[in-house]
Structure 1
Amino acid sequence: MEDIATRLCAALFSEFRRYDQRIRARQYVDGLLRANGRKSIANIASAVGAPHDAQRLRHFVTGSRWECTPLRRTLTRSLETTGGPSAWVLKPVSIPKTGEHSVGVGRHFSPDARQLVNGQQAYGMWFASARLTAPVSWRLRLTGRWNDDGAADTGPRDSVAGLLGDIRDWGDPRRPALLDLSGIPEQRSLAAGHLGARFPLAVRVGGHLEVTAGRPAPGGHGRRPAPLRRILEASPRLRDTRPATGPGRPATAFATALVRLADEGPDRGPLTALGVWHDPLRPPAEVWLSNARTVSPPALLGLTRLSEQVGRGWRTLGGSVGLRDFEGRSLQGWHRHMTLASCAYAISALTSTGAAGQSPYGGGAEVCELSA
C-alpha cells in the first residue's frame, strides 16, 4: 500500500502550490487509511502520530485555499491508466446523521433504507471496471436552510448534470454512464432529460414508469402507455450464461424491449429497456433504460452489474476510509473531505486488486455509441 499511496499522492498533490499543503494532504489521506473507528480530525491526526497537528488539519480542510477540481481530475486520469473504465457509475447515497448541524442534513428518502431518514443526501460518480471501482467526484443535495445560504450544490437535476459534466471534461466520454435513479422521486424527469442527450447512458428506474412500446409489443400493449415492467414481462426472457454471482444466488434472467417514454414524440429515438430477474416468479428486480445503440443485451447486462459492485464498495470500503464521517457546517470542507477520502478509497482499492499500472482488459473494453 505504501508504494501505491506514494505514487498516487505524488501525482495528486502536485496540484498544491505550497509544500505545507502537500504535507497536510498526505497526513489526512494516511490518517483516513490508518485510523480506527470514526475518521474525526482528532483520530486522523493521532493515527499518523501527530495529535498536535489536529488544528492544522482542520484548517487545511475547512479554511485553507485550495480547489477540489484539479485533484478530482487528476485522480480520474490516474485511474484511467489502469486500463480505463468499463463505465462511469453515478450513485445516490444517504449519509445518516444524528444531529442537525452538519452541512446538508435534513429529512429525505434513502434508496438503501427504503424509508425517510435524517442525514445528508449525496451523489457520487465512480470509476468502474471489472477489477476496480473508486469514487472520483461528488455533489451534495442542499434544501431548506442550507440552500438559503447561497451554496452551489442543490437538487438532483443539478447534481446529475454536474457529475456528467465532470466526466465529459475529465474522463473518456465514450464509456457509458450508469445512473441509479430507482429510489428518486424525480426519476422520470431526470431520465427524460439525460437520456435525450448525446452521451451514452443506462438509467435504472422503477418498473412502474410509464412507456410506450417502440414497436408493437407482445401482450397487445401496442402504442398505449403501460408500466415498463409489464412490457418487459411480456418480452421473451433470456438466461445469463455466466455463473451465479454468489452462494445460493440463482442465475440471472433478462429481457429487453424497445420503448419510448410516455408522452415523448417519435422524433426521439427509441430506448432499450432491460429487465433483470433473480426470481422468475416475481417482477423484475431491476429495470434499466439505455440510449446506447450498439451494445448487445448481454453486454448491457454486464455493465449494469457494475452498479452492484459500486454499491458493495460504498457500504464496505466507503465506511472504512471515512466517506460518511465528515462533521461540519462547511460545504467546501465537505467537498475537500470527500475528495481526500476518495483518494484513500482509490489507494485501498488499488492495493487490494493489484490493479495499479495494469490493464484489466488487455485490448480495452467495449465502447458504446449513441443513436443518431
Structure 2
Amino acid sequence: MAGETAPLGPARVCRLPPPGGAEERVTELCTALLSGFQRYEQRIRARQYMDGLLRTQGRKSIANIATTLGAPGDEHRLRHFVSRSHWAVETVRQALTAFLEESGPASAWVALPVSIPKGGEHTVGVSRHLSPDRSRVVNGQRALGVWYASERVVAPVSWRLELSDDPPTAGRSTGGGPAQEGVPAPQDCLRELLDDVRRWGTPGPPVLMDGRGEDESGRLAALFAGQVPAAARINGWTPLAGGHRTVHGRQAVAALDALSPTLRTHRRGRDGSPDRRPVATATATVRLAGTGNRSRQENRRLTLLGVWHEARREPGELWLTNMDESAADSLLSSARLLHAVGDGWRTRGAAVGLRDYEGRSLHGWHRHMTLASGAYVMSAISSSSDQARSSGRSP
C-alpha cells in the first residue's frame, strides 16, 4: 500500500557538541533547568532524579533510582517530588528549549505520536489502542511529544498524554502540570504542543509529523489549521479532495495529472547528486476532505507529494504539506529529521526512561517526562564528547 514501504533513510544528525567540554555543558544545562524550581530541596531532587535516570540499569522506577543512587531512604522523597510537589513543568520545558536553541534555531519541530506499554499495576491514561510504532493493538498509554530537531541534535521538549474517555485518576493529581479540562482529543493535544513551541522557540521552522494511524484526519486538521509551515506523512487511504471529488491518497497519486495541471516529476540522489540511489517525486494540489469544517479546512489548498524509491507503480511515501511545490526538495531533506526523532525515541529515549513512568498521577507523568527529557539532552551531550574522544578530536 502506498506510504508503507521503506522510508527515506535516517538523517545524519550530529549530536550536540560540548564547546566547553561535556561536564561544563551538562552543568550549564542543569543550571538552566534547575532555575525553574523555587526551593533548594526541589533543585536537589530534580538533579537526583535526572542523574538516576541516566545511571539506573533496567526499568527507571523510583525505587530503582533511589537504590542506584545509594539512598533508598530517599525513595519516598523522590516519589513525593514527582507526584505531588508543586513545580511548573512549563517553566522547565521552556528552559530546555532555550538551551537547545543556544546552539542554533531548530530546523524543524517534530510532533511524534508514541505508544508506551503499561508499566505498572496502576498507571495513568492506559487504554487499548493501535500502536503507531508497532502497527498492532496494545494496552498502554498514548502520548504525543514535540521535539527540537536540527542537524546538530534531536531532543524532546514537551509532552501531552492522550487520555481515554474515562480517565479514572487524572483529576486526583495535584501540582503544576498542564491543566486538562475534561478529556482532550488528540488534535487538541497537538494544538497545545504547537502552542508551546511557538511561545518558547523560533516560530519559523516547519512542523513535521507522521500522521498515519488512528485519528489521522483530526491530527491533519489540527496541523494545518494555522499559518505555520507544516508537513505530515500520510497513508494511502487518507481522504483528500481533488477538483470536485473526494479521493484517497493513493488514488490521488495514481491520477496526479487529473488532479492538477502542475504535475512535476524528477529524479535525484538521496544526497542531492544525480547518480546515487535515484528518487522520483511528483506533486499535486489537493485539499483535506471530511474534516467537518468545510469553510476553514476543506477549501485550504495543500500539496500532495509522492516519493518513489525505486521503479514501482505506487510511491514509497506520501506527504501532505501546506508549503508550495517549490519546497518539495527542502521538505524531503527535512523529512529525514522525522526519522532521526523516531530513532531517538526508540534508542536514547528508552535508555533515559521516557517509557518508564509508574503511577496514577497525571501531573506526575508530566513531571517524569519533563525530567526524562532533560536527561535525554544530558545523555546526548555526554555521547557527543565520547564520540569526539573516540575519533581523536578535542571535545
Bin for the TM-score computed over the shorter chain: 0.7 to 0.9
In 2: Cα distance, 1:45 partner to 1:252 partner: 51
Relative contact order, higher structure (CA 8 A, sep 6+): 2
Instruction: Determine the structure 1 residue equivalent to 2:266.
Output: 238
Matches within 5 A, 1:20-39: 20-39=41-60
* 1:207 pairs with 2:228: no
State the distance in 1 between where 2:80 and 2:225 align.
Answer: 43
Output the amino acid matched with 1:39: K
Count of aligned pairs between the two proteins: 342
- Cα deviation, residue 171, structure 1: 1.0
Alignment equivalent of 1:161, drawn from 191, 204, 216: 191
Deviation string, structure 1 residues 137-195 (Cα, Å, up to 9, x no partner): 000011133168547163202111110110111111111111221112x2223323431
Distance 1:171 1:294, change over 3 A: farther
Map 1:283-362 → 2, pairs under 5 A: 283-293=314-324, 296-353=327-384
Indicate which of 277, 285, 306 corresponds to 1:258. Answer: 285
With over 3 angstroms needed to count, the CA separation of the structure-2 counterparts of 1:71 and 1:261, relative to structure 1, is: same
Write the distance in 1 (CA, Å) between the matches of 2:316 and 2:186: 24
Is the 1:88–1:176 contact (alpha carbons within 8 Å) kept by the matching residues of 2?
Answer: yes
Output the CA distance in 2 between the equivalents of 1:99 and 1:35. Answer: 18
For residue 13 of structure 1, report the CA deviation from its aligned partner: 0.4
Residues 149 and 75 of structure 1, relative CA distance in 2, 3 Å threshold: closer
The 3 A distance-change label for structure 1 pair 312 and 209 is same
CA–CA distance in 2 between the matches of 1:268 and 1:145?
A: 35
Secondary structure of the residue aligned to 1:137 is strand
Tell whether the 8 Å contact from 1:91 to 1:123 is kept in structure 2 after alignment: yes
Q: 2:335 corresponds to which letter in structure 1?
A: T
Q: Is the 8 A contact 2:120 2:358 kept in 1?
A: no
Distance 1:59 1:273 in 2: 49
**Identical-residue share of aligned pairs (%):** 50
Deviation of 1:283 (Å) = 2.8
The alpha-carbon distance between structure 1 residues 40 and 189, as it changes in their structure 2 partners (threshold 3 A), is: closer
Say whether the 8 Å CA contact 1:129–1:306 is kept in structure 2. Answer: yes
Task: Give the equivalent residue in structure 2 for 1:118.
Answer: 139
CA distance in 1, matches of 2:354, 2:102: 24
Q: Contact (CA 8 Å) 2:268, 2:280: kept in 1 or not?
A: yes
2:124 aligns with 103
In the alignment, structure 1 residue 190 sits paired with structure 2 residue 219: yes
Where do 5+ consecutive residues of structure 2 fail to align? 1-21, 172-178, 257-262, 386-395
Q: Is the 8 A contact 2:279 2:309 kept in 1?
A: yes
TM-score by length of 2: 0.80
Unaligned runs of 5+ in 1: 214-221, 355-372
Distance 2:308 2:219 in 1: 24
CA RMSD of aligned residues (A): 2.5
CA deviations over 1:78-120 (Å, ceiling 9, x no partner): 1111111100000100001165520001101101111110000
Distance 2:117 2:237 in 1: 28
TM-score, length-scaled by structure 1? 0.85
Partner of 1:283: helix, strand, or coil? Answer: coil
Give the whole-Å Cα distance in 1 for the aligned partners of 2:121 and 2:322. 40
Match of 1:56 in 2: 77
Residues in 2 aligned to 1:231 and 1:294: alpha-carbon distance in whole angstroms: 16
Query: Does the C-alpha gap of structure 1 residues 51 and 99 become closer, same or farther in structure 2, counting only changes over 3 Å?
Result: closer
Give 2:162's aligned residue: 141
- Residue 239 of structure 1 deviates from its aligned partner by 2.8
Give how far 1:284 is off: 2.5
Contact 1:134 1:346 in 2 (8 A): yes
Secondary structure of the structure 1 residue equivalent to 2:144: strand
